[in-house]
Amino acid sequence: MTYSGDFDAAWLPSGAFRAVGSRRSLIRAADAGPLVETVYGELADACARFGGRVVRGGGEDAELVLELTDDDLGDEGFALTRRDGTTTVTASGGRGLLYGLFHVVRLGEDAFAGERAREEHRPAYASRMLDHWDNVAVHPVMGQVERGYAGGSLFWADGRARGDLGRVRAYGRLLAACGINAVAVNNVNVHATEARLLTDRIGEVAAIADVLRPYGIRTHLSVTFAAPMVLGGLPTADPLDEAVRGWWAEATRRVYEQIGDFGGYVVKADSEGQPGPFAYGRSHADGANTLAAALEPYGGTVHWRAFVYDHHQDWRDRSTDRARAAYDHFTPLDGEFAANAVLQVKHGPMDFQVREPVSPLLGAMPDTRLAVELQVTQEYTGQQRHACWLGPMWSEALRFRPDGEVSAGRLADGLVAVSNAGDDPFWTGHPLAQANLYAFGRLAWDPAADPRAVLGEWIALTHPGAEERLADGLHAVLDGSWSTYEKYTAPLGVGFMVQPGHHYGPSVDGYEYSPWGTYHFADRDGIGVDRTTATGTGYAGQYAKPWAEVYESPETCPDELLLFFHHVPYGHVLHSGKTVIQHIYDTHFEGVEEAEEARRVWAGLADLVEPARHARVAERFEEQLRSAREWRDQVNSYFLRKSGVPDERGRTIH
């Protein structure tokens, strides 16, 4: 498919279709639906470009066959075989066929070489969703996309749904090509204009849903818990009130009149000022279940966020540790949520920091459907001005097992992420941040995949036919970029130390004396938050064994999480053999050196990368380096002055 818009082709440049587009293909599907049409359209376009041919039906001798069969592969799975010169993709549903086609595109020429025994592919997570924190109207403080670093919204412009949805279609196509099957089109903080998308403005959502549907993507909407009052004029939003329940049922019926395959609602309630059931003395299960009941007749789901905490915290009160909040609020409700309610849990207990342990809630609600929420938009990881490839971080989180067993299986039932895409020509502001979006989709399909291999896929698809030097260079600047970012920012899992409000750049004490519950407790003697059961907030005790024990003691706690769980003196010796203070100095110097090296490597790739893309990344590396030095200097001089301990290597600390 070609798009006339002036935006980057990301991981679907036409060259990626050379192998499939130069062959004779056959599509066999008895009752073709919109997804089969999409598969046909993709192949027809590729063939028009590369001289192949695609036919429907039968007969013909083909090199690629895509076929709907009765195989039991689920709606999204597919099987791949190659025998006697024919590569065959079979699927039992249209989505499976589309994912199978994109799989063949990813394999390129390899899909047409030798023989291939039957391989079956099925997604690990049935729900693979992106939340867009997009406002329809530009918000005075947050702008159009809350925590968006890639321009304006893909969906909304000039206060309404875009008239030309061509770019949304291209987005849907990119998402399908990495396996994403659901999108929520507006911000979880629902302001007045956006609230109305649920009722009199649902037609705009329907227009977006129409464009995403052919790529197998279901559309969801963030709604305000107070909707029965603000939209329905009722005196209450009490979820157990009959009139309120009736209002939700009727509003939902109307939504499905317009969008037959509507995915459901996303709700942020009793969180950072959003309304919720607490106002009526009701539980979050009561709240979620009222919306779930309204959605149930139509097969919809409510994603209810577990990001509930007190943001007017007193640092002296150890019982309200923000890290404990989600577990404390929600575990007593296990078993009470409706079957079509999904509790959406941030992967860490705090808020998308560069390093956090995995939320203990994920292992503690066996009778509740859970989804893990990741943040692809780089709010706390460099805001798409810094190169920070998050595949390794997510891979680590998704492989975590609450009971300590290493098993296949999944951490939860679904996977959700906050999108990093916008109307920027490169989609993601930083062109290399496209790799994060791609990796989210691929890891949601297969969380056991090697993240480095996933990055390799993205590199190969995005730069088909490129010299090995380019792939090596991209690996060199991205493979270790999360670790580099971690080195020059907040150390050893302590988190934050960012500028309040916009969260870009260092401010060691930025959140230290405010009520948000985000502290490092540094004083002249030491640093870190005591979250042990013995002497601290008790957070470590929210884990099952072995983790409760591993985290409880500084002897066994992994270095990278030490300050998340423990308050220790600066002279505390890490497993690495370094003291905490020396670790802070060393990592901050190293992080800057690594950023310098990445900038140098990137500069050396100028002859291999399209000039506009190269220039955009080069400009971002300049800013990354400026910012990394600022982090290094602020953090190192802060701790030099607090601790009075000099750098043992005698480097100048500014």
Active site residue ranges: 272, 351, 379
* Number of residues located near ligand BDP, criterion CB under 6 A: 10
Q: Are strands 24-28 and 53-56 parallel, antiparallel or unpaired?
A: parallel
520: tokens are 């490092």
CB-wise, 379 or 560, nearer to ligand BDP? Answer: 379
Binding map of ligand BDP across residues 341-360, x = CB under 6 A, - = no contact = ----------xx--------
Closer to ligand BDP by CB, 149 or 352: give it: 352
Contact residue for ligand BDP among 379, 457, 486, 560 (CB under 6 A): 379
Contacts of 166 (CB under 8 A, 6+ apart): 3, 4, 5
| Rounded Cα gap, residues 413 and 442, in angstroms | 16
Q: Is 268 in the site for ligand BDP (CB under 6 A)?
A: yes
Does position 377 interact with ligand BDP (CB under 6 A)? The reply is no
Report the site for ligand BDP in 272-291 (rule: CB under 6 A): 272
- Nearest approach in angstroms of CB 188 to ligand BDP is 5
194 binds ligand BDP (CB under 6 A): no
Residue whose CB is less far from ligand BDP, 96 or 493: 493
Pick between residue 146 and residue 321 the one whose CB is nearest to ligand BDP: 146
**What's the CA gap between 28 and 54, in Å, rounded?**
11
| List of long-range contacts for 229-236, beta carbons under 8 Å, 24+ apart | 230/192, 230/195, 231/195, 231/196, 231/198, 231/199, 236/280
Closer to ligand BDP by Cβ: residue 464 or 510: 510
| Closest separation in Å from C-beta 83 to ligand BDP | 49
Contact 626, 506 (CB under 8 A): no
> E strands along 148-297, which residues?
156-157, 160-161, 182-184, 218-222, 264-267
Q: Is 518 in the site for ligand BDP (CB under 6 A)?
A: no
Site for ligand BDP contains 188 (CB under 6 A) = yes
CB of 378 to ligand BDP, least distance (A): 11
Minimum CB separation of residue 380 from ligand BDP in Å reads: 7
By C-beta, is 52 or 275 nearer to ligand BDP?
275
Q: Which residue is nearest to ligand BDP (CB)?
A: 351
Does 303 help bind ligand BDP (rule: CB under 6 A)?
no
Q: How far is CA 401 from the centre of its chain?
A: 19
Q: Which two tokens stand for residue 493?
A: 């899992």
Neighbours of 328 (CB within 10 A): 18
Does residue number 488 form part of the binding site for ligand BDP (CB under 6 A)?
Answer: no
Query: Which residue among 17, 307, 482, 638 contacts ligand BDP (CB under 6 A)?
Result: 307
Asked whether the beta carbons of 653 and 641 are under 8 A apart, the reply is no
Residue 530 within binding range of ligand BDP, rule CB under 6 A: no
In sequence order, which residues have a C-beta less than 8 Å from that of residue 360 and are 6 or more positions away? 327, 349, 402, 539, 542, 543, 544, 547
- Kindly list the distances between the CA atom of residue 122 and the CA atoms of 105, 137, 176, in Å, as whole numbers in the listed order: 17, 39, 14
Give me the residues paired with residue 233 across strands: none
The distance of closest approach from Cβ of residue 570 to ligand BDP in the complex, given in angstroms and rounded to an integer, is 30
| Binding flag, residue 416, ligand BDP (CB under 6 A) | no
Tokens representing residue 217 in the block: 């993507």
> Is 67 one of the binding residues for ligand BDP (CB under 6 A)?
no
Residue of 591, 598, 606 lying closest to 478 (CA atoms): 598
Min. distance of Cβ 131 from ligand BDP in angstroms?
9
Nearest distance, CB of residue 441 and ligand BDP, angstroms: 20
Alpha carbons 497 and 504: distance in angstroms, whole number: 10
Cα 418 to the chain's mean position, in Å? 5
Q: Give min distance, CB of 274 to ligand BDP, in A.
A: 8
Candidates 146, 296, 328, 424; binder of ligand BDP (CB under 6 A) is 146
Q: Looking at beta carbons only, is 311 or 578 nearer to ligand BDP? A: 311
Select the residue interacting with ligand BDP from 153, 189, 381, 542 (CB under 6 A).
Answer: 189
| Residue 147 engages ligand BDP in binding (rule: CB under 6 A) | yes
What does the H/E/C string look like for 149-170? Answer: CCCCCCCEECCEECCCCHHHHH
Q: Which is nearer to ligand BDP, 200 or 272 (CB)?
A: 272
Question: Which positions lie near ligand BDP, rule CB under 6 A?
Answer: 146-147, 188-189, 268, 272, 307, 351-352, 379
